[in-house]
Amino acid sequence: MHLQVLLDWEDAPSNVDQTSISSVLDLLRRAETVDTPSETLQSVPRALFSTIQKWIALHQEKPLRNALVVWTKWFSLPENLLPTQEILCHPDIKYFDILQSALQDSIGHPALQKYLLHVLRKSMLLLKQHVHTESFEFDVERKWSYLADYNKYCSLFETIVIGRSVNQAEECLHQVPAFEQPLSVRQTWWTILFGAGLIQANSEPIRKLLAEFVFQNYYPTAEPGRHSGDSYRLFLAHSLLPYVMQGSLFTKSIQRSGKVIVSTHGEGLAHLCANLYESKETSETCGGTILRYLVANCNTLNPHATCYILQGLDENKTWEMTLEDAEFAVDLPFKTTFSQIQRVVLLRHCISIVSKLKSVEKHVPEDQAARQTHVQIRLAKLQSSLKEDSQLYWNTPVEGKEFNRVPIAEGVSANWRDDQFGQWIELVDGATQQAQWAEAPEQFLGSQALSHMAACASSDADFKDYVGEYAQRLFNLVQGKTFLWKPLAQALRDAYFQFPNQFPNQSPRSGNIETATIARTPSLGNANLLEHPQVEDVILEFINNPPLPRPEYLLDAAVTYREIDDVGNHILDVFADETTGHVCIFDMLNRLRPGHEAWGLQVLDRVLEPWLQQKEPVPMVAKWKRTTQTQAIIILLEKCVQRLEDARSYWDKIFLILALEPHPRFRFLLEWALVSISQRVTILETSAALGNSSLALRNFGLQMTISQLGNADHSNPKNISSLIKVAMQLALNPPLLIGPFSHEEIEADNLSLLTELIAMSASPKIPIRHEAQWCFPTLFAHCQGQGQVSITENPAFVAMDKFIRALDKYNAPPEARLLSSFDVGKDMNLMTLFEGNYLRVNPSELPLMRTADFEEVWARDTPETVAHIAPPCLPLGNGNEEWSYEIHVSTPKAQSLPSRPITIARPSTRKPDTSSYLTPRAQAPLQTKSLALDSSFTIPTLDDSLDFLYPSSAKNAPNGPILIASLIEFPHNLGGLSRASEIFGCTSLHVPDISVLKNQQFKNVSVRSEIHVKIEEREGQDLATWLRSQKEEGWTVVGVEQTDTSIIIGMPGGATDSTRLPSMPKRSIIVMGAEKTGIPADVLVECDVCVEIKQWGVTRSLNVQTAASCVLFEWRRIWGDGR
């Protein structure tokens, strides 16, 4: 009868369900007790495997699932019904090859993968003979070594693919062998592991981790076997390429150092393609597989991924191109629609790849000769297209590279601006390529164009209107085309420094006003082109929102950066050089012409306006805030403040902004600005006092700061910390004046500051106390160097200095303090401003420009231009020194002042809201939780019998589900499950060892819940058998496990949808999986249904106590009190 049922299964697999499978296997399990003939029993293993084999061969999900359920439960049958040695070892049956094929088909189905790993482990334990097939090898003499290797493989598969924990996967991934390493576990098994881990259902961190490992270690570097090669090519086409060609992986991996841009993911992909060793045993190649994939998916290809792949394949030295491969290579460019620069890279490498095709012998079949001819015709078309498309991008002079420019009229009529706008529209509509667009600023705002317009414009206002109009129009295009920013900013800089130094004088017009040209004579002038409202708006918009290239443009630059000739020169002229434009604008601000300071203050006021309008509490991050704003503030304060009333006004403004700002980077720069404007106040006050001999020279900036420090609000500790740092800088670095300060005046200021620091060192506010303690020894050492005896011989100061220097915190300051160190005497330069270590303090930011960019801009200046450029207010700094942003940390010198911004919010000073008093408040909730016990209740000891704890009265008997914790190891988790079981009224809780109830970790979490819930001992190894017996009594086994068929609980609408079946039956046995591995396959196969908890995060894991509570709550939500 059993055999007949199995034969019926083979004929109609779609009609089989798991209930019938369980019933038949239960009959087989009892076959010996019902006197089944031995001949029938001997034929059962072969019949079972035949059924499994036929179901797997259908490659359909339901037959596959049924086959694996049968296969898994097969090992729970009596020993005489298990797989025989003939089934396991016969070369024609290929037992393990079928198992591997099923594992490949089960990708994306974690439960099925668990079944197969269980089958693999159990099958190997039965082996008693040698096995040698394409996918499996076993030597009986080395049985335990093979068992250990395959058990390791199963464990890694469960951890990486099924467990899906990125931390655990990262820890164990180093145990995966490299591709060419000789192994007991054949390479095809490991390839399936990576293929299963890269599917879309897996978490992104896991997929990224596996892809990086494949790039570095898992590819053939020597002659692979035929089966291994076929398996790896299947892995490339179905698992690896669909994932690694996603555009987000390239953009997220962009790394930039100046103008050098690299996508680490793209480099890894190119490296993989370049190092694939091509098999000589088969006509199929990895390169051909990749090209076939690209052609088949031409409509959805990521262009940058395609370019990186072709660059790598072109570098591959072991690839012997076949005619079929060449056909795919020449067809690919005709089926893709990439941008022109991407197409240039595509064409260049497709042509180079096809050139590797060996010439076909003369006597070949006619069809092969026709295919060869087709390839050659296509190749010629590609070469012609490459020559045409690449003209504008060659980095070396190429004939025909210049394109037609819009001519500027020799004479200008009264409506000359309208004529120029018409030419502008003509250029904009006609320019389709990046190289043409980049010519627009030079064509309309270059020196030649401006010279012509200056000679022809009717007035300087007309000339400025022309510059402003085109600057605004071009800048409006910059956000979408950042390659325009460099030539535009260069043109504005050149225009500012060159015009109107030779701006023409007015001359009378003659003739028809509509046609007469304007003849003018140049003369010296000092008008400011930047003061035009449209030009000023452009500069202000840059300061508030510097143009940054879009990711696709950065990737274009990264791809073309790899295009080099034989001597290492870059072939294509595509670079992300918007930093040059940034430098041009800041260089203009740093070198404003004398007389243009009023305009600089006007821009400064517009930059400061939103900072002054902030209300408490100020958020740490604001979309409108930029580092460039505070950098511009420092430059404009240093360059443009020349009157004492302006200096005092800006001191108040900067102090107010600093008092509110919480961001460490902005606080560092605002402290710098406050030091700068304080020194400016001192200089201007001193200049005013020099004419009055009765007034002593004083460090007004320092005294203002000390006065604010003495009156500061201690509820704002970050502000006091900043004032301490500012005062220290002013004391250590007094400004250079015509007449020096008196020694007595300096000593008195230092004494006042040291006295304040001693008081601040005892502050209850940690930021204030630490800052004062860090600064005191530095200032005291400075006083010693200045010979200020009244300070250095003061016993209180000496004792304080000794005490602070002995503190561990002083001798080992935190990294943030080292990174934000600042010495106004050494660091007031462009290098610190734009590349300083303060950018590395969290939250960090990469430098937007570097001193090398300034040097590059200055190198373009001609002697004539340099003669008219004002000297910079901030010097370059040590720009020639080799300095790595990633690794350099400057340790503060003896006279340097470390800066330590503190992000503690200032209490609000706004009036309390009284509106709540007008409306009656709701009554406060009354807490009903009580820790008091009834006085008549006695707590038994664990040594007493537990029987009396479970009354037999029906009305008091628990009626909830049974919770299985037999797979849980840690006592504190079992204690938490005891607590959850009692809270949700479980019928019983099953633990692996009842002695855990005496464990202190269990007790710490259980809070005596174990005396209110029935707890039974059930070992994990006996769990599957016990579950089968309970199912016969009408219980349903519910596994809490993430599988492809799990019912998700916690979905919206689940509580009100009456048409939906309950996720858990009333009589449920809920099985919780082990902490790391979940539910094992032999138990999982007994589960009638699996449930998982709806998740919105990415961790994919809950503690077992939390998970059990969620599931038990869902059961109670469905069934209420269960009666």
Amino acid at 588: M
1038 has which bridge partners? Answer: 1070, 1089
What's the pLDDT band for 990 if we cut at 50, 70, 90?
very high
Total number of residues shown for the chain: 1123
What number is the average pLDDT over the span 495-513? 53
Q: How confident is the model at residue 522 (pLDDT cuts 50, 70, 90)?
A: very low
pLDDT at 6: 58
The H-or-E segment that residue 1036 falls in is strand 1036-1040
In a domain, 784, yes or no: no
Contact 810, 929 (CB under 8 A): no
User: In the chain, what is the straight-line distance between the N-terminal and C-terminal CA atoms, in Å?
Assistant: 42
Q: Can you give the pLDDT at residue 433?
A: 59
Confidence of residue 663 (pLDDT cuts 50, 70, 90): very high
Mean pLDDT to the nearest integer, 479-495:
86
Give mean pLDDT, residues 157-186.
85
As a whole number of angstroms, the distance between CA 585 and CA 493 comes to 7
Confidence of residue 1058 (pLDDT cuts 50, 70, 90): very low
* More confident call, 282 vs 69: 69
pLDDT value at residue 517:
38
| Residue 436: predicted pLDDT | 66
Distance CA 486, CA 840 (A): 27
- Please tell me the total count of domains within the chain: 1
Say which residue, 636 or 563, is predicted with more confidence: 636
Task: Give 420 or 1058, the one with higher predicted confidence.
Answer: 420
φ/ψ bin of 857: left (φ > 0), alpha (ψ from -120 to 50), beta (otherwise): alpha
Look at residue 15 in the predicted model and tell me its pLDDT.
Answer: 67
> How confident is the model over 14-23, as pLDDT tens digits?
667 777 777 7
Query: pLDDT at residue 427 above 70?
Result: no
pLDDT at position 795, please? Answer: 92
What is the average pLDDT across 352-375? 76
Structural element, H or E, at residue 1104? helix 1104-1119
- pLDDT value for 393: 60
3-state secondary structure of 816: helix
Res 299 pLDDT > 90: no
Q: Is residue 45 part of a domain?
A: no
Strands (E), 591-681: none
Task: Say what the pLDDT of residue 942 is.
Answer: 40
Amino acid of residue 914 = T
Q: What is the mean pLDDT of residues 346-371?
A: 78
Q: For residue 778, what are the contacts with CB-CB under 8 A and spacing of at least 6?
A: 728, 732, 894, 895, 896, 897
400 backbone φψ class: left, alpha, beta (φ>0; ψ -120 to 50): left
User: What range does the domain containing 1017 cover?
Assistant: 947-1119
Closest CA to 25 of 48, 8, 52, 4: 48
Place of tokens 């992104």: 204
Q: Which helix (H) or strand (E) holds 138?
A: strand 137-138
pLDDT digits (tens, 9 = 90+) for 683-714: 888 777 665 555 556 788 888 888 888 887 78
pLDDT at 1111: 95
pLDDT at position 653: 95
**DSSP notation for 534-580:** HHHHHHHHHHHS-----HHHHHHHHHHHT-B-TTS-B-B-----HHH
Task: Point out the least confidently predicted range of 443-452, 888-897, 1063-1072.
Answer: 888-897
Residue 971 within any structural domain of the chain: yes
User: What is the three-state SS of 170-188?
Assistant: HHHHHHCCCCCCCCCCCHH
1023 occurs within a structural domain: yes
Say which residue, 37 or 962, is predicted with more confidence.
962
Residue 410 has pLDDT above 70, yes or no: no
Would the pLDDT of 395 be above 60? no
Give residue 752's pLDDT: 92
Split at pLDDT 50, 70, 90, the class of 1071 is very high
pLDDT at 922 over 80: no
| Residue 931: per-residue pLDDT | 37
Q: What is the pLDDT of residue 911?
A: 40
Does residue 1074 lie in a domain region? yes
- Inform me whether the pLDDT recorded for 677 exceeds 60: yes
pLDDT at 961 over 50: yes
Q: Would you say residue 579 has pLDDT above 50? A: yes
Look at residue 954 in the predicted model and tell me its pLDDT: 38
Model pTM? 0.76
Query: Does a structural domain hold residue 1052?
Result: yes
Q: What is the pLDDT of residue 525?
A: 45
Contact, 1003 vs 979, CB < 8 A? no
Residue with more model confidence, 1113 or 26: 1113
pLDDT value at residue 1106: 93
> Can you give the pLDDT at residue 207?
92
Q: What is the arithmetic mean of pLDDT over 1077-1089?
A: 90
What is the distance between the alpha carbons of residues 345 and 478, in angstroms, rounded to a whole number?
Answer: 25
Residue in 848, 824, 261 with CA at minimum distance from that of residue 586: 848
In-domain check, residue 1035? yes
- The whole-number pLDDT of residue 668 equals 94
Burial class (CB in 10 A: 0-12, 13-18, 19+), 497: buried
- For residue 983, give the CATH number of its domain: 3.40.1280.10
pLDDT at 423: 67
Mean pLDDT of the chain: 80
State residue 543's pLDDT score: 96
State mean pLDDT over 258-279.
Answer: 89
Least confident of 261-270, 745-754, 947-956: 947-956
DSSP letter at 161 equals I
pLDDT of residue 518: 36
Binning pLDDT at 50, 70 and 90, where does residue 675 land?
A: very high
Is residue 1060 in a domain?
Answer: yes
Measured in degrees and rounded to the nearest 5, phi and psi for residue 467 equal -60, -45
**How much is the average pLDDT of 740-758?**
86
pLDDT of residue 248: 92
Beta strands at 1068-1072 and 1047-1049: parallel, antiparallel or unpaired: unpaired
pLDDT at 424: 60
Backbone angles phi, psi at 221, to 5 degrees: -115, 5
Instruction: Say if residue 37's pLDDT is above 70.
Output: no
Highest mean pLDDT among 394-398, 680-684, 1104-1108: 1104-1108
Write the pLDDT tens digit of every residue in 73-128: 999 888 888 999 999 999 999 999 999 999 999 998 999 999 999 999 999 999 99
Percent of the chain beyond pLDDT 70?
80
